[in-house]
Amino acid sequence: LTGVPREHRVYQYVLAHAIPGDPRHLLHTFDRWSRRCEHLSCVGPVKGRIVERLVAERAPRRVLELGTYCGYGTVLLAQGLAPGARLYTVEGNPEHAAVAEKVIRLAGFDEQMVELIVGPSAEVIPQLRSKHGLPQADFIFMDHWKKFYLRDLQLLESHQLLAPGATIVADNVLFPGAPHFLQYAKSCGRFQCRLHRASLEY
């Protein structure tokens, strides 16, 4: 009714209520908005704890996120990285990317730690090494359009962007679902697969 996109509304709320430079408080502020005001397609706190645990276990140096949206997942990933680690996050929607950029910087992460790349993943992935300096990723978080999961995984493989022993975390593979991605990951013989069951966000 206001004509202001939902993503801008949540950013104004976060700007007014979150503590700048405090990633955890910023995420809690997002969660409060999503529970009380409007649903956002963010990872949320339940699945977020799974992602946090995996990042802590793997201690990745080069992280790739596909699907930045408002920056919730980016902040979640970045807060768990060791000094010197770098996160590349890819968002195809320029309006969402503009909000995410402000959220990421508000959380306290500069461009040396988190690089936001705007463009379709199918165009960005082949350029990650030559244009953005990512030789290989050892942790990949997929949370963009589910129909692109398989295509983008195969792009990462064909451009040799998966480090040996890389971890790939893909959200929402059961609902709304990414059946072709799951079938490929289980049957191609190159991956060990594990499903983490969790409730939907919020």
- From 143, 195, 167, 169, select the one nearest 60 (Cα to Cα): 167
The label of the residue with tokens 């955890």 reads 24
Taking residues 70-80, what's their average pLDDT? 98
Between 198 and 104, where is the model more confident? 104
Instruction: Give the model's pLDDT for residue 201.
Output: 86
Q: Would residue 146 show up in a list of annotated catalytic residues for this protein?
A: yes
Q: Percentage of the chain surpassing pLDDT 70?
A: 100
- Tell me, what amino acid is at 122? A
**Average pLDDT taken over every residue of the chain:** 96
User: Average pLDDT in the 127-145 region?
Assistant: 97
Q: For residue 102, what are its two tokens?
A: 């402000």
Mean pLDDT of 154-173: 97
Catalytic annotation on 91?
Answer: no
Phi, psi values for residue 170, rounded to 5°:
-120, 125
- State residue 1's pLDDT score: 60
Q: Which of 7, 47, 146, 152 is catalytic?
A: 146
pLDDT score of 102 more than 90: yes
User: Looking at the domain 6-188, which fold is it?
Assistant: Rossmann fold (3.40.50)
Going by pLDDT thresholds of 50, 70 and 90, the confidence category of residue 53 is very high
93 as an active site residue: the answer is no
List the end-to-end C-alpha distance of the chain, in Å, as a whole number: 23
- Residue 168 or 198, more confident: 168
The single residue of 91, 101, 138, 171 carrying the catalytic annotation is 171
